[in-house]
Amino acid sequence: MEGIAKHLPELRASLGIMTEEGGALIGQHSMKAENRLATCASFSAMWDGQPLDRWRAGDGVESYTGRRFSAHTLVQPVAAEALLSDPMASGQGLLAGFLTCRPASRTGTRLRMERDAEAETGIARFAARIRLLLSRDLPLADANRNELLPTVLSLSPGARDVLTAFAREVEKAQASGGPFKDARAFASKTAEHAARLSAVLTIYANPDAPEVTGETMAGATEIATFYANEAARLADAAIVPPEVADAERMRLWLLRSWGESCISAGIAAQRGPLKVTDRARKALQRLQGHGWLIEANGAEVAGKSRKEAWRIVCARAGMTGFTFDAKAALEAAQKCQTLPNRSNRSASGGAGLGGIGALGTVPVSDPEMTTEQLARDIFEERAAIREFVGGAGSRYCRARSLGRGPVCGNNHAA
């Protein structure tokens, strides 16, 4: 972080850390215990779009605006878990600024050896598009070679309606007992993540687009929903004691590989993932305590009656992840254009991004509110806000990394 700040006057206005060795980034000098707080605070300030200040006795005081900073890092789980479980990184908002995911391992299924021509064509098309975007001139401030001043990207009425509905659903999901109760730091920024993603998708499709359409915002909420559920899952797994990890390994083996209805500690040690009988027994006892096994001493296991045995519970009901009906919200936003006393509003229109993917259909979190009621509620609240602040376009949502833009706004000029 110190190196970046020191050389900002000479570096490009848009910077990034892209590495396949994220462990080196996590273990660097700026992330050591005595420096971690300042580093986390600096990254959080950059995410919020605040100027980056540098105070030094020898160099004086410097303040940098109009910069952008991105990060894309790949890191092994053993190194990532240390950061994900760091209360300082979480409390300072650093982790909430990252879109983090941990895909399931594909070990044992990587059987394709030939080249996938269709996939390679898609990758080449994507790379060509990115090269085209990178070749465009940067929107620089006057008389500055490395200070950005991008135009404002507005939200169409339909996009704003979809984002409002999404923000409400995410807020309700943070309540006690909700899917985001243990991931509130990320969930509180999920709506802003959706706004930023919608801006990225819009510029990718058309760098000269004047606004974000409702269809593109709906797609962005689906992406944000995926990362929010990942944040909740990773928060639960950030600190896993060894005995809990053993129990989970045993549970997965029982459900996926063991073909009988009962199991004993001895057989589990012989054929299962834990090769020490006492360790396997403790894992089975923990699973019993959490309802995955039922004591069944004397049951037959592997053709013999076992003095100590457990019956396997095949499935249990659990809490589902957060879902948001982006398609219904988009339809509600479009219907909202025809409500009475709405002559000053036009349909959001636009083809949107199209090829990114079909919108999913899942149950709305609040079954007592129809999409029509939600649309009217959104319209009434927006009208009240406009009356209070003195006109449309007085509220806007910034989607930025560091500096004054890019900005997702409503009826705002560059």
Is residue 286 within 8 A of residue 298, CB to CB? The reply is no
Based on the fold, state whether residues 248 and 375 are members of the same structural domain. Answer: yes
In a domain, 129, yes or no: no
In a domain, 114, yes or no: no
pLDDT band at residue 365, thresholds of 50, 70 and 90? very low
355 backbone dihedrals φ, ψ, rounded to 5° = -75, -5
Is residue 402 within 8 A of residue 46, CB to CB? The reply is yes
Query: pLDDT tens digits, residue range 288-344?
Result: 998 899 999 999 999 999 999 999 986 444 445 678 888 888 888 887 764 444 333
pLDDT band at residue 218, thresholds of 50, 70 and 90? very high
Based on the fold, state whether residues 233 and 364 are members of the same structural domain. Answer: yes
Structure token pair of residue 356: 């990114």
Residue 184: which residues within 8 A CB-CB, separation 6 or more? 174
Based on the fold, state whether residues 7 and 54 are members of the same structural domain. Answer: yes
Residue 13 pLDDT greater than 50, yes or no: yes
Which residue has 């029509």 as its token pair? Answer: 372
Residue 250 pLDDT greater than 90, yes or no: yes
In a domain, 118, yes or no: no
Longest dimension (CA), the chain: 85
Question: What is the pLDDT averaged over residues 377-386?
Answer: 45
Based on the fold, state whether residues 97 and 161 are members of the same structural domain. Answer: no
Angle 238-239-244 (CA atoms, 0-180°, nearest 5)? 120
Based on the fold, state whether residues 334 and 246 are members of the same structural domain. Answer: yes
pLDDT at 59: 67
Total Cβ atoms within 10 A of residue 382: 19
Burial class, 318, CB count within 10 angstroms (exposed 0-12 / middle 13-18 / buried 19+): exposed
pLDDT band at residue 406, thresholds of 50, 70 and 90? very low
Based on the fold, state whether residues 161 and 138 are members of the same structural domain. Answer: no
Q: Which residue has the higher pLDDT, 157 or 50?
A: 157
Based on the fold, state whether residues 215 and 275 are members of the same structural domain. Answer: yes
d(CA 311, CA 28): 49
Based on the fold, state whether residues 140 and 273 are members of the same structural domain. Answer: no
pLDDT band at residue 239, thresholds of 50, 70 and 90? low
| Of 149, 184, 208, the domain-final residue | 149
Structure token pair of residue 314: 């095949």
Count CA within 13 A, CB hemisphere, residue 157.
22
Q: What is the mean pLDDT of the chain?
A: 76
In a domain, 394, yes or no: yes
In a domain, 94, yes or no: yes
Total Cβ atoms within 10 A of residue 408: 28
Residue 109 pLDDT greater than 70, yes or no: yes
| Structural domain range at position 32 | 1-101+134-149
Question: DSSP state, 175?
Answer: S
Question: What is the pLDDT averaged over residues 124-134?
Answer: 94
In a domain, 298, yes or no: yes
pLDDT at 282: 94
Structure token pair of residue 3: 């190196």
Q: Provide the domain count of the chain.
A: 2
pLDDT band at residue 394, thresholds of 50, 70 and 90? very low
DSSP for 28-60, please give it.
Answer: SGGGSTTTHHHHHHHHHHHHTT--EEEEETTTE
Q: Quote the pTM value.
A: 0.62
In a domain, 121, yes or no: no
Query: pLDDT tens digits, residue range 163-178?
Result: 999 999 999 999 988 8
As a whole-number percent, the residues of the chain with pLDDT over 90 amount to: 34
d(CA 283, CA 243): 7
Question: DSSP state, 70?
Answer: E
Which residue has 């509003």 as its token pair? Answer: 345
Most confident range (mean pLDDT) of 140-144, 185-189, 216-220, 354-358 is: 216-220
Structure token pair of residue 84: 């994900």
